[in-house]
Structure 1
């Protein structure tokens, strides 16, 4: 296997394939669920919660890396990544790594995620097994299998469910032993913000995606829909967040609104730009916004 993963360029292609700018989608839900666990736990064991959070964080990161790697290889094989792509460089399409290498790397990332999750399973049992197996399965089915979610317009739903509701709700359950409405509300917000990333990505690539029958929502319904989808995702997030005035305190509700001007700028620029490489800048900005939102929300929870 080591020969299959070897590359003359060293570690750089693997870092590129992991798409580090998108990993905030894994960091933010773990951060928020940990802060919520501190707030709602009847007896707070800080050492235990932090240990479980770190394991869950790295397990989730490796699921996302595995998903990104498999997406890189399969999108190339299916023709979605070619010399005309506007997005960041893909290692398979650019020839930095072979499709076989990238697929092996993806499944190896999944294996690392499983190994990291073993203590979590020992701690919380069967529900964590189910969550983990489903996450791994759909990480592959995002672009693999006979019914790839990304090619059927189900990518957004996948992200809301697994990088939002499941990530926050699952880690909250892991740390507290129960699930409540607050964890699900937070999970929905995190999922909506993570979905902005995939929506910008799909809007940028909608013309090329149509050519290879990758029928994302943007490819299926066009650029006008794509713009308003992103507007809707941000509007819904900030509207839902008003819930925290009632649930915890004004700090937890107000602090994330510091990121609202950035959200407005992203939406405004997207409404006035045709899909081009500048969308990669907006992709990075939306990832930063999600991370800042999560940090500010977490600070607000702690203040409470």
Structure 2
């Protein structure tokens, strides 16, 4: 039965995703709740955490110790930090809608067991979902251009363009790299290294060792969220021909990688504790992360794995916020 489904699925594929979509697939009109669900709010921590860390690490390495407010007021730092946050959030939302569109028109979501998608479930026309995705990419570009104008760092235009292109080709185009086990590389680079170090650089004009430690930690959390999502969909992705890293390495190794991605940020936290003792309070975020780990490495039930995804996301947010606050409060 599964083989017959797979054959039907393959026959319905098109090399051009836009042509693969059929208006007949739209069965109803998406509600506001559906569109909010399409933004996948639980993943937006991937945009918040790196900007919080980049801003606070920039503060402690700026030389303006003991007055975070003065740091934010200096040289428009608050404006730049808010714009960096908008870039990260708009880019993340754009990626989510772009994935919804690309997976939907390819038919990949035909076998999914998670929450319904706008395109795959026929709740919205593919072109409408694509337009929304491109709109958010455009908003990210506008916020990024404003940062460039304020900082006069014109080379950042190349970084911003690369981020948008990488976001689209994650599941878009004829050969999406997200279908070839490279999704974790994308999120680690752009929602870890680029987001944290980029935020730090536009604020203080350099990157530091603490910035690198925070960037790698944020990148691992982003990888963990993506991995547990792909563990949930591993059978369906394999059936649909989507070779995520979880599909490529198999379930046992995928679970091990998920555990490593979740726990390595706490190894990196040792760096901050040695420099700033109060940052040790960040270990309390393990109260969210350890239950996520327990579920993620033991369960195969989609609903439980969704819970693991949520706990991973909120755990990363708690890590970033607590670490950020304790850095901001350094005397």
Alpha-carbon distance between aligned partners in 2 of 1:181 and 1:201, rounded to the nearest angstrom: 31
Give the TM-score taking structure 1 as reference length.
0.92
1:4 matched residue in structure 2:
none
2:202 is the counterpart of 1:174:
yes
2:288 matched residue in structure 1:
262
Instruction: Determine if contact 1:206/1:219 at 8 Å carries over to the other structure.
Output: yes
2:226 is the counterpart of 1:198:
yes
1:98 matched residue in structure 2:
125
> Per-residue displacement from partner, 1:40-80 (whole Å, max 9, x unpaired)?
22455422211111111112111111111110011112222
C-alpha RMSD over aligned residues = 1.6
| Corresponding residue SS for 1:241 | helix
| Corresponding residue SS for 2:109 | coil
- What pairs up with 1:126-137 in 2 under 5 angstroms? 126-137=154-165
1:286 matched residue in structure 2:
312
For structure 1, list consecutive stretches of 5 or more residues without a partner in the other structure. Answer: 1-6
1:15 matched residue in structure 2:
36
Instruction: Determine if contact 1:78/1:212 at 8 Å carries over to the other structure.
Output: no
The range that moved more, 33-42 or 167-176, is 33-42
- Using the TM superposition, give the Cα deviation of residue 259 of structure 1 relative to its aligned residue in structure 2, in angstroms: 1.3
2:131 is the counterpart of 1:110:
no
Runs of 4+ in 1 over 6 A off after TM superposition: none
Alpha-carbon distance between aligned partners in 2 of 1:207 and 1:45, rounded to the nearest angstrom: 49
Instruction: Determine if contact 1:165/1:191 at 8 Å carries over to the other structure.
Output: yes
Instruction: Determine if contact 1:34/1:50 at 8 Å carries over to the other structure.
Output: no
Larger Rg computed on CA atoms: 2
Q: How many residues align?
A: 295
- What pairs up with 1:63-212 in 2 under 5 angstroms? 63-82=91-110, 84-124=111-151, 125-212=153-240
For structure 2, list consecutive stretches of 5 or more residues without a partner in the other structure. Answer: 1-27, 65-69
Of 25, 31, 43 in structure 1, the residue corresponding to residue 52 of structure 2 is 31
- Using the TM superposition, give the Cα deviation of residue 237 of structure 1 relative to its aligned residue in structure 2, in angstroms: 1.4
2:258 matched residue in structure 1:
230
Give the TM-score taking structure 2 as reference length.
0.85
Instruction: Determine if contact 1:135/1:162 at 8 Å carries over to the other structure.
Output: yes
The range that moved more, 165-174 or 228-237, is 228-237
Alpha-carbon distance between aligned partners in 1 of 2:233 and 2:149, rounded to the nearest angstrom: 42
CA 1:228–1:208 in 2, change beyond 3 Å: closer, same or farther?
Answer: same
1:277 matched residue in structure 2:
303
1:302 matched residue in structure 2:
328
